[in-house]
Structure 1
């Protein structure tokens, strides 16, 4: 019995010792491996970004320091992507409202081939008439003395003191007593008074009363609306000198500007649908009645005119209108496809789109395309795309910004490679080789030295106008836009290439539209187009002072994004003013 107890005790001791060495070593090993596992977890820690400002990266969820939007999870890896492909999260896609369309998929849109034109209502000059003085004299009273006043045929317009008529009346009274003996002389005096537009009734009244009148009335010969007052009470006027300009507004002209590359799409007699913001749900039928045979050298456009019936007095001269017209069908190559204009990023010589390379995941890559005609809100593409390709049609600027930040090929970076880095809500240029992006983007436009020197004064005027946009000062915007336009028109553009002149001419057109408009919303819409043309010119300058920043708000232009120039690095958004003053980022430095 004692031996059995001893054997059991020895077995227990050996079991405990063996268990210690076996399990203790595993525990130590596990303890040693644990820190390695934790470290790996730290390496894959989730980062957070802003869907509208992807340069923002934060280690934890919070608000975007630029626009205040909630941050979303950022991609933690890019495994399996090609060199210039980028991948976006589903949340980023939704928040930035990125939409795609398959090229050639489905039936053609009802708007295919429809060309949109912008224009203004003008008075129908065929219905204009001038009310003039029929004799020399001084205007004693002007009964119609402001623009917009309605006049009717036979209405008293003015009363004039006419010394010549006083003498002619004396002749009439003298010859009236001699009309039996000298009827020819009597008839000649009466005819002279008729030439001065005195009626038979007036002449008879003078003859019957025997009294000489000093002041004579002028009556309207037509009915209409006064469009210009050309004299004032107390003025001395000559025979035939205009006093009032009157227009019959029962019909008006809708005048549109048509670019060179669109001229072949129009001819007299085509039907056009005219609409205006004043009557949102209405369209008015008109017919093209005139196409100007002379091209405007400044804007490179011709005037297209349609006559509109205006018996209900709906259209006011100066009113902005939009025309929609079906262009004349032209033969195109078999490889031509049509895409929405919103899908295209244009840098001057290059036209770019973003194609979805993976049908099941949000993976995109930039592709250059060759554009042909623009038909309404669509472009014809002759090369670069095929039927079945899926492209970004909304939010293209946002995708391009993500590509820039990841160092992929993009609108501003033809070759790829890191070009920008985020810092406190801004994007600035890196030092060294990365500064070559300036050189890359400026190769598209070539500007003579003399033009560059004079363009500096244009930029100075532009920057003041931009500050007026920030301040929401409509009146000052118009004044400074006119100043910028005049300065730009004074530059010598004869040595510029076709593309450079296109940028300048479009800039002048937009500046003139801004200057002539008193609606802040419309002025900002014109500013978007102005900046699309001004920024490439500014980026091509070789020497500029002070340094300029190209800044961009991804939410402007109906979430399509819009750029502007600023002399200050701090964001002051001209598209929203104090509503979203600091929304935006620096995407380029011009030194």
Structure 2
């Protein structure tokens, strides 16, 4: 009996141990499989080149056949219009970035670059014409490029009228003693047909009329066009050959609209030809076309070059460089043309907002003259900004896919203000209390904008910046810290500038970051109204905070003082204003 009891205890112990080991492992396996299934369902796959493709499992892109990559499932701590891309997507799409102002290219030395061709100097062109009606019997020059010397025989023509005139000469010559006036008139008639004295004397001395008369070159040069052939009947004055003197040629360049302001006649220009890459030729701008070519949106800029050594051939490609900007190279920001996108009236770039992570945001810029393959940025970027210079449209496609501000979704961009006002941000009570204290200098800055006082704007921005720097932001989330960081950046830019228009541009971005925080500050007094001018920021709209319900527009001042409307209220949870 005792033995059976021992066996039973061993059996029960074995069952318990088996349950502990195998039962728990099975549960864990089930749970692990369940988690894996959930993760697989949530993970999406996309194409780096065609981000509109979204699939629930890996594979090939149905458009280009490339391997799909894991799509970004979400990104915390991003500002409203920021997007984040994966490192794989960055590599596969060959997205490259450049820090503006970190290096200078060959074209970033204050020189304006123009492209063009060598053309014949039309001032030196001449036409060899027939001086009488007739038929071309012989044409000694019959193709382009042949050299012509003054006095060279060009052609011989059978001219019935000239034959009759010679008969008149022979008759008048026999009467020259009795009728000298008639004799003189006949000789002058032949001279008008460009016959020389020696030719007329030869006809008179021979006593016979010639049927075919020669035509001699009156200029030296190169045949640029043959306008008649042997056997053709020509009228008096009809062109036979066009001759160009290539001892001087024109270098003709196309200048775009945004380059015209940097051009003027008399400017020195250095010209380089593809045929002579190691040589530079000095010239002067001699002509700027007063008419703009509507098809190409360019004007013709011309310089005259000496060509006594026959180095330049009409049709050669050339490049011209001249000082086309009054700005010093150190004061200008130049970016590759591949970084700029156009949407009709706007020029856009993508800026990398996080130096340690592939986070991007679209920014509108104002471009100036084109210098070779670069564009001068007049406004919108500062030295040290990192922008996308290759793969810009891929980044824009990713932004569009994520519903962020992009080149293609202007309709969604117009609703950005609504998203901004509805953004939920968690702020501690202590932070809210301190944040309210920075708003008085902000309001002083807003009033200075209304008064169009750039100096006071700068002073108030410094005061606001100092107050905001005193806030402790360690307790804030990544998104909240991003808004504070951007606000600090814009305040510093406003404080350092004395250009009112640039200050107002920075004020737009400042409000896009400070208003979402203000909208999440709970009960406080007084009520702050969110106001918006739809015409500010190049008709994209600009917002600001005010304690007064009446509109005093900080973006235009007296020019459009009451332009705008109240779109919401903040700080006090007041009733929404329609």
Q: State if a TM-score over 0.5 links the two structures.
A: yes
For residues 40 and 312 of structure 1, do their structure 2 counterparts lie closer, same or farther at Cα, with a shift above 3 Å needed? farther
Decide which of 28, 37, 45 is 2:32's aligned counterpart. Answer: 37
Q: Secondary structure at the match of 1:44?
A: helix
CA contact (8 A) 1:409 1:415 kept: no
Matches within 5 A, 1:51-450: 51-57=48-54, 63-72=60-69, 74-75=71-72, 77-106=74-103, 110-177=107-174, 186-275=183-272, 284-296=281-293, 301-311=298-308, 313=310, 315-330=312-327, 337-414=333-410, 416=412
Query: How far off is 1:281 after superposition?
Result: 6.7
For residues 25 and 94 of structure 1, do their structure 2 counterparts lie closer, same or farther at Cα, with a shift above 3 Å needed? closer
CA contact (8 A) 2:109 2:329 kept: no
Cα root mean square deviation, aligned: 3.7
For residues 66 and 152 of structure 1, do their structure 2 counterparts lie closer, same or farther at Cα, with a shift above 3 Å needed? farther
* Aligned counterparts of 2:28 and 2:113: Cα–Cα separation in 1: 69
For residues 398 and 279 of structure 1, do their structure 2 counterparts lie closer, same or farther at Cα, with a shift above 3 Å needed? farther
* Aligned counterparts of 1:9 and 1:282: Cα–Cα separation in 2: 110
CA offsets, 1:89-146, max 9 Å, x none? 3343233322212233345755343333343433211110011122333333433344
CA contact (8 A) 2:110 2:329 kept: no
CA contact (8 A) 1:112 1:378 kept: no
Q: Secondary structure at the match of 1:105?
A: coil
For residues 35 and 276 of structure 1, do their structure 2 counterparts lie closer, same or farther at Cα, with a shift above 3 Å needed? farther
Task: Using structure 2 for the length normalisation, give the TM-score.
Answer: 0.61
Decide which of 13, 24, 44 is 2:19's aligned counterpart. Answer: 24
Query: How far off is 1:390 after superposition?
Result: 1.2
For residues 39 and 379 of structure 1, do their structure 2 counterparts lie closer, same or farther at Cα, with a shift above 3 Å needed? same
Structure 1: which 5+ runs fail to align? 418-591
CA offsets, 1:463-494, max 9 Å, x none? xxxxxxxxxxxxxxxxxxxxxxxxxxxxxxxx
Query: How far off is 1:378 after superposition?
Result: 3.6
Query: How far off is 1:78 after superposition?
Result: 3.2
For residues 32 and 139 of structure 1, do their structure 2 counterparts lie closer, same or farther at Cα, with a shift above 3 Å needed? same
For residues 369 and 148 of structure 1, do their structure 2 counterparts lie closer, same or farther at Cα, with a shift above 3 Å needed? same
Query: How far off is 1:376 after superposition?
Result: 4.3
* Aligned counterparts of 1:82 and 1:34: Cα–Cα separation in 2: 40
* Aligned counterparts of 1:241 and 1:109: Cα–Cα separation in 2: 52
Structure 2: which 5+ runs fail to align? 414-578
For residues 82 and 301 of structure 1, do their structure 2 counterparts lie closer, same or farther at Cα, with a shift above 3 Å needed? closer
* Aligned counterparts of 2:277 and 2:34: Cα–Cα separation in 1: 62
Q: Secondary structure at the match of 1:239?
A: coil
For residues 150 and 255 of structure 1, do their structure 2 counterparts lie closer, same or farther at Cα, with a shift above 3 Å needed? same
CA contact (8 A) 1:113 1:376 kept: no
Query: How far off is 1:315 after superposition?
Result: 4.5
CA offsets, 1:177-199, max 9 Å, x none? 45566666555544443332223
